[in-house]
């Protein structure tokens, strides 16, 4: 019996890897994804904010801004088709008395918003801000309203990509850690080996005509180890180093005095978007993330000093919030930045390999655009599928059913016959408390 050969194997089960899997599968390619953890979305994609942005802080002319715009054009229709709950409220980029920024910096944010494609962005006076968000502190000196930004359930959106890919024939293998030392290219076929399992069983092997390296914080290690002794000139010219950046968050139960609708953002810098204050799709109040570089790719421990600073920050913006009484949780995410400012998406035709790295905090936002861009790039080395694929699209189950499933099955839900572990704190806390739409029998 001839061994199965995939057109493409994706390394990494975060939102970017899953989006590539879905896009390639819908284009008719025979695809699989491997993830080293037991559950999908276990690292950066399981600890983001759940805000789909317009890319106002992405530098003009970058691939990042281009792919965010591409994704924005199809994000809402996708969520509607897959029954992913969204709140298209827009964000407020606010100017505060304690900021170093000046009034004209809001004009710059407005210009950048228009350039990024959100042409309906507008300047608001302090009185207009107060009308939109009466629980916000009175000190706000004005804001830019960016209406294109959307609040989503970050886990449910990301897992919907996996469900849609699987419905159309994709395979997903968890507990499959890619072994860069054992894997090799033979002719035009990759032999992809699993790191030897701890139970002593034989490592699994897959075969593929191409590999997409979407391993996030581990992408640079996989890149160097896999291509070390046979690195081509083209490969060495496009190198990067992962730069883990930790973001700490605190989550609070909402009250009449603290409820807000729009994400409240500071004026972004070239380094970071800054600390947000926002309400989740389930109405819980979140402050974060911080942006601190660290050496460890895995250290997600809570820093009590940072927690105290976050308390002070959110209290300054929402005076009616009781940071002790209303605290329901906190978490740390480690984002996969690199030493480069832009996304690092590079095709190496000779190696039948595409690297998808440097997808910092905008991975969820740009995921649909990234998936399509990677598939377009791979057409240079993969044959075009012969038949037009009939795409199946089954919407996610009603949200009330998923929440009930989550409570009855110890944090798992079943979607299209597959079990998924809910890994994101914002989803877990929202569903556990049955806040907002999570507590409503609905048509979602």
| Cα distance between residue 41 and residue 43, in whole Å | 6
| Cα distance between residue 382 and residue 385, in whole Å | 9
Tell me what pLDDT residue 386 has: 72
Residue pointed to by tokens 């919907």: 160
Helix (H) or strand (E) holding 19: helix 15-26
47, 137 contact by CB (below 8 A): no
**Sequence-separated (6 or more) residues with CB below 8 Å from residue 276:** 49, 51, 263, 264, 265, 286, 287, 288, 289
| Cα distance between residue 305 and residue 320, in whole Å | 22
SS3 content of the chain, % helix, strand, coil (to 5): 30, 25, 45
Tell me what pLDDT residue 52 has: 93
- Which pTM value belongs to this model? 0.95
Tell me what pLDDT residue 147 has: 93
Tell me what pLDDT residue 379 has: 96
Q: Give the residues of the chain that fall short of pLDDT 70.
A: 1-2, 101-103, 228-238, 269-272, 441-444
């Amino acid at each position: 019996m001839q061994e199965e050969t995939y057109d493409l194997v994706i390394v990494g089960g975060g939102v970017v890897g899953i989006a590539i899997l879905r896009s390639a599968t819908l284009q008719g390619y025979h695809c699989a994804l491997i993830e080293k953890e037991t559950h999908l979305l276990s690292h950066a994609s399981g600890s983001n904010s759940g805000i789909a942005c317009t890319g106002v802080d992405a530098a003009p002319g970058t691939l990042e801004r281009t792919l965010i715009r591409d994704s924005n054009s199809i994000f809402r229709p996708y969520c509607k088709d897959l029954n992913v709950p969204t709140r298209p409220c827009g964000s407020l980029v606010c100017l505060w008395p304690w900021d170093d920024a000046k009034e004209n910096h809001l004009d710059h944010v407005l210009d950048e918003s228009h350039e990024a494609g959100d042409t309906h962005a507008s300047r608001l006076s302090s009185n207009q801000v107060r009308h939109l968000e009466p629980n916000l502190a009175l000190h706000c000196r004005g804001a830019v309203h960016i209406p294109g930004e959307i609040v989503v359930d970050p886990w449910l959106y990301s897992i919907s990509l996996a469900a849609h890919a699987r419905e159309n024939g994709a395979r997903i293998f968890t507990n499959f850690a890619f072994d860069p030392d054992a894997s090799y290219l033979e002719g035009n076929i990759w032999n992809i080996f699993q790191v030897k399992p701890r139970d002593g069983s034989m490592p699994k092997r897959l075969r593929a005509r191409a590999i997409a390296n979407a391993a996030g914080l581990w992408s640079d290690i996989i890149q160097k180890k896999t291509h070390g002794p046979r690195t081509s000139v083209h490969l060495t010219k496009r190198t990067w180093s992962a730069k883990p950046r930790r973001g700490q968050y605190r989550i609070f139960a909402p009250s009449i005095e603290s409820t807000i609708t729009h994400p409240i953002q500071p004026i972004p810098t070239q380094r970071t978007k800054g600390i947000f204050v926002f309400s989740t799709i389930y109405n819980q109040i979140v402050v974060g993330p911080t942006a601190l570089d660290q050496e460890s790719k895995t250290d997600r421990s809570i820093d009590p000093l940072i927690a105290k600073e976050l308390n002070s920050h959110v209290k300054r913006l929402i005076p009616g919030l009781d940071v002790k009484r209303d605290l329901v949780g906190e978490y740390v995410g480690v984002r996969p930045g690199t030493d480069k400012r832009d996304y690092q998406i590079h095709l190496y035709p000779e190696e039948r390999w595409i690297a998808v790295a440097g997808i910092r905090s905008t991975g969820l936002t740009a995921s649909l655009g990234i998936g399509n861009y990677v598939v377009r790039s791979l057409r240079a080395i993969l044959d075009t599928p012969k038949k037009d694929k009939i795409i199946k699209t089954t919407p996610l189950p009603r949200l009330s059913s998923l929440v009930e499933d989550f409570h009855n099955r110890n944090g798992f839900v079943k979607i299209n016959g597959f079990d998924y572990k809910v890994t994101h704190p914002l989803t877990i806390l929202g569903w556990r408390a049955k806040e907002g739409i999570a507590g409503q029998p609905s048509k979602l």
